[in-house]
Structure 1
Amino acid sequence: MKTAVCFPGQALSPVTDLLQRLQQFAAANSTVEEGEKFIEQARSPLSERTIQQLGTFIASVASFKVLTDEMDLPVSLLVEHGVGMYAALVAARSMSFHQGLEIVVMAGDLLDEVADRGDFEMASIVGLSREELNLVCSVAAESGEVYLANINSPTHFVLSGHKKALVAACDGAIRRGAIEAKLLGIGTPIHTNILESRGRRLAKQLATVQFQNPAVPIVEHIYGQRIIECNILDLLSQQLFMPVKWTRVMDVVHRKGIDTLIALPPETGLAEVIEANLEDVTVISPGEAGDLEAWLGQLAGLS
């Protein structure tokens, strides 16, 4: 059996209950406690968006520790979706947990600068081809900037940009027969050129951080390549303004002969996206209800 672990991006609902349940495991308890203490003692007030992202980051790192330290599951490969890059780098021991917490806050502060303007959004479009989506976006661009932010599968995309343009894109997608076209309520134009200057600023803030070569191979979501020590800084910067090319990551998973892919909590809908790309891979996820116990039960069958 060859197993990969997937670190999710932004959770769309609070993870407080998940963090409490993870604390029943010795391997996860100290991580959750350290993360919660960090939030409580933050030097400046944190936005709800940043707190939510910190919760996702903490939950992913803690869940990974349950897999490896408590359940002793062998892991061949790590993959990450969007801001899941931060937790993957901690899991692979490329940076410390505390460094990861600090970077989440740095990135969150930069995103808040843009989000405070209140005119940005993200939208999920399912059921159109890339060519059909391009036509939709060309019309929607008359209402504002619109970018392709995520290529999750050949028919599942996420757009990012000005809210007015994304509303127009959703309307146009439905008219062309999309299965789903909805705003995500995220409020930031992440994974677009709008944030390039913020990404460059993040790189400057992290210039003195010493990263280590990943102890476990990580495939990143921008180019679908393996992360090495010398490109971590650039990837953390580009993560803010480059699109998520998830289909490239899935191609690598297929070529590596991975037969089991574990999607870490919290649930972000990522399991469905994985299954849309890899029919011959067993996907184990917490499910839409975020059922941690059921997820752990499935994992117990692997050990």
Structure 2
Amino acid sequence: MKAFVFPGQGSQYCGMAEDIFQQYPEARNLMERANEILGYSITDIMFNGSEEVLRETRYTQPAIFLHSICAATLLSNTDVAMTAGHSLGEYTALCFAGAMCFEDALRVVSKRGELMQNAGTLNPGTMAAIIGMSNEALEDLLAETRASGVVQAANFNSPGQIVISGEIGAVRKAVELAPSMGARMAKELVVSGAFHSPLMKPAEEELKASLDEITINNSRIPVCMNVVAQPITMADEIRKNLVLQLTSSVRWAQSVEAMIAGGITSFIEIGPQKVLQGLVKRIDRSVTISGIDNANQVAQCLATKQEQ
């Protein structure tokens, strides 16, 4: 069985999806519609914007969502049994699975990006990658550093690759202590806020209000959601988990393991870059993993589908 997975923030790049826009009218229509909905040209930022502008969370999130959902829409006839997305990518997964329409998903993603950027300004924080520690050892590390401030595991990306998030002093203390407690590497990341930590709390209420304004349906295929690492189809659970996701850990490794336990043997990352392909390989080498980022890869996938 096959699953589509969708990347999150950090996978953006200058020129993203431009060739898809040029070669596929269906995708071009979606992107032009997105410009109308947002009230500015997100495609201009994607195709011609500087790295600095594209890194701004308020632009990054709709850009990655748009790239991913356009590619996925072109491949909508592919036999997909389950889907998931990493943080922001969860909205793309839900849109692909029919839990929310394109227009609503884009509006909420745009609002989410603004809210997270504002929360990062209101409650300054940072994140760090901790490499080579078990989940248990990481909990010991966090217990040692919490006297310095708020800090928690933000992303369980793959075995031995965990990202922590929180107040600057606490995160830097964890980075300092990590090597002596078994980490192979600990490095602070260049981010605009402490995502997936309690420092995102100011964004939570407004995000909930935005979600309450849109229709969320039961999904047509299961979406393995970040917060619970379980396949979900019911609308009320989807809505609840999207709100919790802002301040909760992204349980990506556990989600992939749950999908494999549910029968998934092939993963296809849809969207910019190859981040999730690398993570899935590290989680379980027995499954196949590939990616579709550009127009050539879309064409190859469509050609293969026609031959079957």
TM range, normalised to the smaller chain? 0.7 to 0.9
Are 1:195 and 2:200 matched, yes or no? Answer: yes
How has the CA–CA distance of structure 1 residues 94 and 232 changed in structure 2, closer, same or farther, with 3 Å as cutoff?
same
- Distance in 2 (alpha carbons) for counterparts of 1:295 and 1:128: 37
SS of 1:233's equivalent in the other structure is: helix
Question: Deviation per CA, 1:217-237, whole angstroms, max 9, x where unpaired?
Answer: 211111122131122221221
One of 91, 95, 98 as aligned partner of 1:90: 95
Structure 1 position 277 matched with structure 2 position 287: no
Query: SS of the counterpart of 1:149?
Result: strand
Is the aligned partner of 1:107 residue 2:112?
A: yes
TM-aligned CA deviation for residue 182 of structure 1: 2.1
Q: Return the offset for 1:146.
A: 1.0
Structure-2-length-normalised TM-score: 0.85
Please give the alpha-carbon distance, in whole angstroms, between the structure 2 residues aligned to 1:64 and 1:169: 39
Q: Are residues 227 and 179 of structure 1, via their aligned partners in 2, closer, same or farther at CA, if it must alter by over 3 Å?
A: farther
Alignment of 1:131-210 (within 5 A): 131-210=136-215
**Structure 1 residues 179 and 35, CA gap change in structure 2 (3 angstroms):** farther
Percent of pairs with identical residues? 25
Partner of 2:219: 214
Matched, 1:19 2:27: no
The one-letter code matched in structure 1 to 2:165 is S
Structure 2 unmatched ranges of 5 or more: 42-53
Aligned pair count reads: 292
* Higher percent of residues as helix: 2
Which is worse superposed, 165-174 or 254-263? 165-174
Partner amino acid, structure 2, of 1:61? I
Q: Retained in 1: the 8 A contact 2:112–2:207?
A: yes
Counterpart for residue 58 of structure 2: 50
Change (3 A) 1:241 1:188: same
Structure 1 length-normalised TM: 0.86
Deviation readout 1:258-287 (Å, 9 max, x if unpaired): 12100112126221111121221100025x
Opposite residue 231 of structure 1, the aligned amino acid is E
Within 5 Å, which residues of 2 pair with 1:28-43? Answer: 28-41=27-40
User: 2-side partners of 1:218 and 1:141: how far apart?
Assistant: 33
Asked if the contact 1:259/1:281 (under 8 Å) is kept, the reply is yes
Counterpart of 2:248 in structure 1 is 242
Q: Equivalents in 2 of 1:152, 1:180: separation in Å? A: 15
Structure 1 distance, partners of 2:158, 2:55, is 31
